[in-house]
Amino acid sequence: MKNENLSEIVTNLVSKNEEKLRHYVTLLSSANEIARLTGPSDENILWENHVMDCAFAMPLLPEEGKVIDVGTGGGLPGIVWAICNSNLNITLLDSITRKCALVEKMVFALGLKNVTVVCSRSEEYAKSHREKFHLATARAVSASGILAEYLAPFVRIKGKAIAFKGPRVTEEIEEVGNRWRTLGFSSPRLQSYNLGEIKRYFLIWTKISQTPKGIPRRPGMAEKFPWYTK
């Protein structure tokens, strides 16, 4: 999809849901004063750098289905997506109890019936929710290869995973090479977009086969011993 077309679609989508999205930004700003959920508390920065960033992924999402946002922090991107598409049933997953409690309060205040907040390590949650989701996503979590180990177990066959990435993404992809099938993923494709003057990327995998039962490994193993460096 061309950047011009993507920008136009996103602008229209945000405009239709702006009141509720602005309410979310106000709630997120206040929550950031209690616990650092997502960097700044300035509402303009939250809008431009976070809400709009998440909104750019909307044209890539399924029209309906189950989505999991791994390491959601302050609810990004999951809450933005839930506001813009009530046909998505979104699980917000984070391992930090204080963050989850604040996110639950925001979800309640926004009246989002299509959102569930879960406080758990992704490695543990994947055991009981293996390959249950049409889409798994993460934003600002880990390097692409490490992140793929967290996301792959959640995604059903023919589903997708989307990671929000910066300029180092091509280096991260090269580190893994052609080994993505080890996790049940296709080789990823890149979708670029412009957030203001900054060029960013979506890294998109398709689930082509079941993820091996040994994935994900125990908590902490993915980052200490990346699967693709064996």
Whole-model pTM? Answer: 0.95
Percent pLDDT > 70 in the chain is: 98
The pLDDT score that the predictor gives to residue 4 is 59
The pLDDT score that the predictor gives to residue 141 is 73
- Between CA 72 and CA 28 the distance in angstroms is 13
In the structure encoding, which two tokens stand for residue 224, read together? Answer: 């200490």
- Between CA 87 and CA 131 the distance in angstroms is 19
Are residues 105 and 24 in contact, defined by beta-carbon separation less than 8 angstroms? no
Regions in the chain scoring below 50 on pLDDT? none
Task: Report the Cα 118 to chain-centroid distance in Å.
Answer: 14
CATH match for 3-223 among 3.30.450.70, 3.40.50.300, 3.40.50.150, 3.30.70.2740 = 3.40.50.150
The pLDDT score that the predictor gives to residue 3 is 61
* Domain coordinates in residue numbering, the chain: 3-223
Name residues whose C-beta falls within 8 Å of residue 221's C-beta, 6 or more positions apart in sequence: none
The pLDDT score that the predictor gives to residue 24 is 98
The pLDDT score that the predictor gives to residue 154 is 98
- Between CA 90 and CA 145 the distance in angstroms is 24
Task: Give the strands of the sheet with 133-139, arranged side by side.
Answer: 115-119, 88-94, 65-70, 133-139, 155-165, 198-206, 189-195
The pLDDT score that the predictor gives to residue 80 is 98
